[in-house]
Copies of this chain bind each other. A is one copy, B any other.
Amino acid sequence: ARTGTPEVVFAGGKTPAETVGCLAGLLDAGLPLACATRVDPETAAAVLDRWPDAHVDPVARVAWVGTPPPPLGEVLVLTAGTSDGAVAAEVAATLAASGVGCRRVDDVGVAGVHRVLAVAPDLAAADAVVVVAGMDGALPSVVAGLTDRLVVAVPTSVGYGAAFEGLAALLTMLTACAPGVLVVNIDNGFGAGVAAARIVRSAQR
């Protein structure tokens, strides 16, 4: 945790036993919190089997053992559509594990721009903003025009055809016409959460 970020196991390509082993290693090393992302149901079961009081969020596919620090500050997490919810949940879980507060407003896609405008007070109250969007990925462009907070943009693989598994949203976000937009990998809610937490902590220093 030298970098101020919780140690996190990427369970993606690992067996349940491997993930449990990695988490145990972190705890054995004396860390107060061991976390895993991309946790499928089998892995979640294995974690709960080993540590019955572990925290498991099946939507975010995140699990942790131990106690996160108490929450500080507030990150606003916006999604463009319902289907972006799982990635937003990974952002929220990462923030929780990092000891940073989180406020979510869902389903504020740019096709209903009045709903976007309605989040203005939330933007003003936030230390940083994370915007999660698939398909056209246009939401960060609009949000960044409404705030002087940093906008961490997360393209998702939601969509079909020319969405090309998130490529369309990724390119949109990289070329967003408002400055202040920073981009992470497709579906990388964890990376967005870590970055937003660092912004909050630096604002609180």
Chain A interface residues toward B at CB < 8 A: 2-5, 8, 10, 12-14, 18, 22, 80-83, 109-113, 116-117, 127-128, 135-138, 141-142, 144-150, 152, 155, 157-188, 190-191, 194-195, 198-199, 202-203, 205
A150-B202 in contact given A157-B161, A194-B179 (Cβ < 8 Å): yes
Check if A198 sits within 8 Å of B174, measured CB to CB: no
Given A3-B144, A136-B177, A183-B184, 13 further pairs, Cβ under 8 A: A113-B145, A135-B176, A136-B141, A136-B172, A136-B175, A149-B202, A161-B174, A162-B185, A163-B171, A167-B171, A174-B183, A179-B195, A180-B191
What are 30 A-B pairs at a CB distance below 8 A? A3-B178, A3-B179, A4-B148, A5-B148, A5-B179, A5-B180, A13-B82, A110-B138, A111-B141, A111-B144, A111-B145, A111-B176, A113-B113, A113-B142, A135-B176, A136-B137, A149-B198, A150-B195, A155-B161, A161-B170, A162-B186, A164-B171, A168-B171, A168-B174, A169-B175, A171-B171, A179-B190, A179-B194, A183-B184, A203-B203
Question: Which residue of B177, B182, B185 contacts A80 across the interface (Cβ within 8 Å)?
Answer: B177
Establish whether residues A81 and B177, one from each chain, have CB atoms under 8 Å apart when the complex forms. yes
A179 near B161 with CB under 8 A, answer no
Closest residue of B by beta carbon distance from A183: B183
Known: A83-B13, A199-B202. A161 touches B141 (CB 8 A): no
CA distance A167 to B164 in the complex (A): 10
Q: Are A161 and B168 in contact (CB under 8 A)?
A: no
Known: A113-B117, A195-B150. A182 touches B184 (CB 8 A): yes
What residue of chain B has the Cβ atom nearest to residue A1's Cβ? B148
User: A141-B110, A167-B171 in contact; A198/B150 too (CB < 8 A)?
Assistant: yes
In the bound complex, residues from chain B placing their C-beta under 8 Å from that of A184 are 174, 181-183
A177-B117 in contact (CB<8A): no
CB-CB nearest 6 A-B residue pairs: A161-B186, A111-B178, A182-B182, A138-B138, A168-B171, A111-B145
